[in-house]
Chain A
Amino acid sequence: EIVLTQSPATLSLSPGERATLSCRASQSVSNNLAWYQQRPGQAPRLLIYDTSNRASGTPARFSGSGSGTDFTLTITSLAPEDFAVYYCQQSSDGPSYIFGQGTRLDIK
């Protein structure tokens, strides 16, 4: 089974700063990777799919990149509402859907 490892576990930044979140897969997932945002008390929300495609309603400050086993979610200038937990997720045939353990983005 594929394992997704996210780093760092917690990232402390200030509004306006750039955030870089990492997701590493234990084996290649091609570009079949998504990112979700979960704010406190809310359900996850799809941000990015197929590695780099923004979902409907995702602000342009969010971007995804990578391929194979290494993926990155970048937030270019943090807005107050961006402080949340972020999960990566891969989809494969079976079907099978695996989530990473999450990165908590905290206000510094």
Chain B
Amino acid sequence: QVQLVESGGGVVQPGGSLRLSCVASGFPFQSFGMHWVRQTPGKGLEWLALIWDDGNNKYYTDSVRGRLTVSRDNSKKTVFLQMNSLRVDDTAVYYCARRYCGRSKCYFDGWGQGTLVIVSS
């Protein structure tokens, strides 16, 4: 059973940084790409970043490229999201999710419970 547990959220001032972690269990972590997705009441669900299973390929949505960095440690079954230069509109619940591929495209199966990030002065 896929289990993902995020941590690292909290309250941070604008311009600050946070590092989110997501620990995986119940599946061969080193064989799966991993995503970060965030959710806000106003903007809904927004995909942020993808890191492939071996960590060699990383992709970001345009709005966060340069401020967010995804990484992973397969020995610790953990994926990270380093968030810098945080803005008020980064306030959201942040989820990690497993990459699952269908016949031609990939989706999100297996989500963590989320960690809340609040950016406020």
Contacts and interface: CB of A to CB of B under 8 A. Distances in A.
A92 interface: yes
B59 A34 contact: no
A43 B102 contact: no
B59 A94 contact: yes
Interface stretch (A17-25, A49-57, A73-81): A49-57
A43 B113 contact: yes
Interface in B23-82: 35, 37, 44-47, 50, 59, 61
Contacts of B61: 96
A43 B114 contact: yes
Interface size class of A (residues with CB under 8 A): 20 to 34
A95 B50 contact: yes
A49 B102 contact: yes
A89 B59 CA distance: 18
A71 interface: no
B103 A50 contact: yes
Given A46-B109, A94-B59, A95-B59, A102 B104 contact: no
B113 A95 contact: no
Interface in B86-113: 95, 100, 102-113
A95 B108 contact: no
Interface of A: 30, 32, 34, 36, 42-46, 49-50, 53, 55-56, 87, 89, 91-92, 94-102
24 contacts: A30-B104, A36-B108, A43-B112, A44-B95, A44-B111, A45-B111, A46-B100, A46-B107, A46-B110, A49-B100, A49-B107, A50-B105, A53-B102, A55-B109, A87-B45, A91-B105, A95-B59, A96-B61, A97-B35, A97-B47, A99-B44, A99-B46, A99-B47, A100-B44
